[in-house]
Amino acid sequence: AKALLWTKRFFDKSYMLASFVEEQFIGEGRFSRGVKQRNEKGIWVLQATSMPSILVETGFITYKKDEDYLNSETGQDSVAENVLNAVKKYKQVTEGK
């Protein structure tokens, strides 16, 4: 129950960060399945945090196009840059910097 309270406490900030990551991926032409929350059972590694947290699915290795992209240096650099840009935007919005 304590973990669930922590999760709810940081939900808005987690959702904001996830939305910023999604914006970055969409801006690069990546497909988005949307920002989602698991309502029934949460993901333990996210519930056990005492800060905003998200899980980023960068693609599916069962889909050849995604697998090739994620295995390429270009794809890995793009994903890393997108996440970094989202974190920077999140920091600017939440800390006013």
Give residue-wise pLDDT tens across range 64-94: 999 999 999 999 999 999 999 999 999 999 9
pLDDT band at 32, cuts 50/70/90? confident
Structural domain range at position 11: 2-95
Compute CA distances 92 → 26, 78, 97, whole Å: 20, 21, 4
Q: What is the DSSP letter of 63?
A: S
As for how many domains the chain has, the answer is 1
pLDDT band at 11, cuts 50/70/90? confident
Q: How far apart are CA 21 and CA 17, in angstroms?
A: 6
Q: What is the pLDDT of residue 97?
A: 63
Answer yes or no: is pLDDT of 2 > 90: no
